[in-house]
């Protein structure tokens, strides 16, 4: 989100007022949080108590304290130590804007869930006025040139501790956000997180953390998987949240496979959901369901490999004749393939063809997955916390995700990955340089389809049923949107995009009639303000911002540092 700026002459004239106005705003926000915000105790988790801030009031206090730290960095006891490194003025502008958005959201939530603004108590208005003052004061504090915080080198133990603190914040922040059952509370927690991250970006702190993550990549990877592993233990056995988490992992694993095709090789595939469906139908047909059509029940590991291989074979079948075309023509052909797959599943019902899929009825009653003596449908108590069936599937999907990420990373950093990138950038030039264009395109389709097939075999058991209606074109569109939204060619971006597209519709059900409208609006805004995605690949970042010489220099130095 771009931060509104005032004319330089106006800023220079009122610069002396910015700091005291900002301090006054911080004080008012904090004072207001110790008063009642809402007359109705049933709104936003009971904000009607005096002298004892509620959850959302505590978040407002945290944003205010961050603003105070930045104010003291601009002018105060922290200026001599942090003022040379942190871009406190720019960070304060971002934080002031998000704090104002947060308080506007609180006022709207109270007014919407009650009979109007009359139910907003004085504390809410005091904190709102304070947010306005913080925002106004931040706009007239002049900016200045600082050192590049990303170049700062700190002791190794401090950098490792920073990684640990950030990842722990992600874990407990996610647990706190998912615990908000009220949609408005969930939105406000997201605004709080957005404001914190925006301030970190603007101050340069996130840039420094990016350099630390590059230098401590193994530590970051281990910390990320540790956070993912401990996540179910923060949900107190909540099947609802763990169901969302397993859906996110299946969606993300499939999207990473599509990322090979779209993000690396640059091939627009609009029928990719068919490969996920192929894996699911293989697992369903070979399961012990009463409606299964194949009387052979091999071990699950064999089923997983069969599902991946069947999907890869379909990738080769569709890829061999169609990869001779490119661009819009390839998109249309793959879209047709996705619809052919869905209608084929309808017709393989014993009347229009062999009975393999039970037609539109699909294959219901798929039993819970059992590996050895471990049944994924049973509850298990670990450290006093009950882990249900979705938690069991979650851990299995974590192993699948680790494998998918390993495959993507190895291929991306290999000669094959460089060949895919060359094809994406300029197919004719790559062919002229001796790159086997057709072979690499076909390999991208096969590998991407294989990974989707693996995810499909687990999805069948988790859902308990497989039907053709699960694999419509809209699902392929959402997979592609996750890649575009998160950042093509990246792993973190796809994970973030998949989480957003799967989590938000579940938590914002009061927008049920407008979810697709909001989704489309989000994509339009992304294409306008950040076309490279939320987590941008460095090469694509330069493609979209070729005129930014400072960015080019920074990216070049980062690539050199990674090469070391």
State the pLDDT at residue 556.
Answer: 54
Question: What's residue 258's pLDDT?
Answer: 92
The pLDDT value recorded for residue 256 is: 93
Give whole-number Cα distances, 256 to 15, 425, 486, in Å. Answer: 49, 20, 11
pLDDT at 402: 92
Q: Are 266 and 445 in contact (CB under 8 A)?
A: no
According to the model, what pLDDT value does residue 1 have? 47
CB 320 within 8 A of CB 383: no
User: What does each of the 564 residues of the chain score in pLDDT, given as a tens digit?
Assistant: 445 566 666 666 667 788 899 999 999 999 999 999 988 888 888 888 888 888 899 999 999 999 999 988 888 777 777 667 778 888 888 999 999 999 999 999 898 888 778 888 899 999 999 999 999 988 888 776 655 666 666 777 888 888 889 889 888 888 888 888 888 888 899 999 999 998 888 888 887 888 788 788 888 888 988 999 999 988 876 788 889 899 999 999 999 999 999 988 888 888 899 999 999 999 999 988 888 888 888 999 999 999 999 999 999 988 888 777 777 788 888 898 899 999 999 888 878 778 888 888 889 999 988 887 788 888 888 877 888 889 999 999 999 999 999 999 999 889 999 999 898 888 888 888 888 888 999 999 999 999 999 999 999 999 989 999 889 888 888 888 888 888 888 888 889 888 888 888 777 776 666 666 777 787 787 777 777 778 776 666 666 555 555 555 555 555 555 555
d(CA 60, CA 128): 10
Stretch (H or E) spanning 41: none
Q: What residues does each domain of the chain span?
A: 8-231, 235-533, 537-564
- Predicted confidence at residue 474, as pLDDT, reads 85
At 444 the pLDDT is 92
**Topology of the domain covering 235-533:** ABC transporter involved in vitamin B12 uptake, BtuC (1.10.3470)
The C-alpha atoms of residue 482 and residue 497 are separated, in whole angstroms, by 4
Confirm if 506 and 245 have CB atoms less than 8 A apart: no
DSSP letter string over 285-332? HTS--TT-S------HHHHHHHHHHHHHHHHHHHHHHHTTS-THHHHH
Residue 38 main-chain phi, psi, to 5 deg: -135, 140
Contact call for residues 286 and 306 (beta carbons, < 8 A): yes
Three state DSSP letters for 227-295: HHHHHHHHCCCCHHHHHHHHHHHHHHHHHHHHHHHHHHCCCCCCCCHHHHHHHHHHHHHCCCCCCCCCC
Quick one: DSSP state of residue 453? H
Render pLDDT for 238-275 as a digit per residue (tens, 0 to 9). 788 889 899 999 999 999 999 999 988 888 888 899 99
pLDDT for position 148 = 61
The tokens of 513 are what?
A: 């009639």
In whole angstroms, give the CA distance from residue 281 to residue 461. Answer: 10
**Reported pTM:** 0.86
What integer pLDDT is reported at residue 539 of this predicted model? Answer: 65
């Amino acid at each position: 989100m771009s931060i509104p700026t005032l004319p330089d002459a106006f800023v220079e004239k009122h610069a002396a007022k910015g700091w005291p106005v900002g301090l006054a705003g911080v004080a008012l926000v904090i004072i207001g949080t110790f008063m009642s915000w809402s007359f109705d105790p049933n709104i936003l988790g009971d904000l009607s108590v005096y002298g004892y801030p509620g959850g959302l009031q505590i978040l407002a206090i945290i944003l205010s304290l961050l603003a105070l730290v930045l104010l003291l960095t601009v002018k105060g006891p922290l200026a001599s130590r942090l003022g040379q490194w942190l871009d406190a003025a720019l960070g304060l502008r971002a934080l002031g804007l998000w704090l104002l958005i947060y308080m506007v959201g609180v006022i709207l939530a109270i007014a919407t869930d009650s009979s109007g603004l009359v139910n907003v108590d004085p504390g809410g208005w005091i904190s709102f006025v304070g947010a306005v003052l913080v925002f106004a004061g931040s706009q007239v504090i002049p900016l200045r040139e600082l050192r590049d915080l990303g170049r700062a080198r700190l002791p190794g133990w401090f950098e490792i501790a920073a990684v640990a603190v950030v990842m722990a914040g992600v874990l407990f922040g996610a647990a706190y956000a998912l615990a908000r059952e009220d949609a408005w509370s969930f939105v406000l927690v997201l605004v709080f997180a957005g404001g914190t991250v925006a301030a970190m970006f603007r101050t340069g702190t996130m840039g420094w953390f990016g350099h630390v993550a590059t230098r401590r990549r193994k530590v970051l990877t281990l910390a990320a998987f540790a956070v993912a592993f401990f996540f179910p233990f923060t949900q107190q056995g909540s099947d609802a949240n763990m169901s969302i988490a397993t859906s996110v992992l299946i969606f993300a694993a499939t999207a990473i496979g599509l990322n090979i095709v779209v993000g690396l090789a640059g091939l627009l595939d609009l029928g990719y959901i068919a490969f996920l469906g192929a894996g699911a139908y293989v697992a369903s047909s070979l399961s012990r369901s009463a409606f299964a059509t194949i009387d052979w029940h091999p071990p699950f590991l064999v089923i997983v490999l069969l599902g991946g291989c069947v999907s890869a074979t379909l990738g080769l079948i569709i890829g061999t004749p169609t990869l001779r075309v490119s661009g819009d023509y390839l998109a249309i052909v793959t879209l047709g393939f996705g619809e052919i797959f869905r209608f084929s599943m309808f017709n393989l019902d014993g009347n229009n063809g062999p009975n393999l899929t039970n037609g539109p009825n699909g294959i219901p009653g798929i039993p819970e997955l059992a590996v050895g003596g471990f049944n994924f449908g049973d509850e298990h108590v670990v450290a006093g916390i009950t882990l249900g069936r979705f938690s069991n599937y979650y851990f299995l999907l974590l192993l699948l995700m680790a494998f998918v990420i390993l495959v993507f990373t190895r291929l991306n950093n290999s000669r094959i990955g460089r060949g895919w990138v060359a094809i994406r950038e300029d197919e004719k030039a790559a062919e002229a340089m001796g790159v086997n264009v057709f072979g690499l395109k076909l390999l991208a389709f096969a590998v991407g389809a294989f990974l989707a097939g693996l995810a499909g075999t687990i999805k069948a058991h988790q859902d308990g049923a497989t039907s053709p209606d699960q694999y419509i074109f809209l699902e392929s569109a959402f997979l592609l949107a996750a890649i575009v939204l998160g950042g093509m060619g990246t792993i973190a971006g796809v994970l973030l995009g998949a989480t957003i597209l799967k989590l938000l519709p579940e938590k914002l059900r009061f927008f049920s009639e407008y979810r697709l409208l909001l989704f489309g609006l989000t994509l339009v805004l992304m294409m306008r303000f950040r076309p490279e995605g939320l987590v941008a690949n460095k090469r694509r970042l330069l493609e979209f911002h070729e005129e930014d010489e400072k960015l080019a220099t920074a990216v070049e130095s980062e690539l050199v540092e990674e090469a070391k």
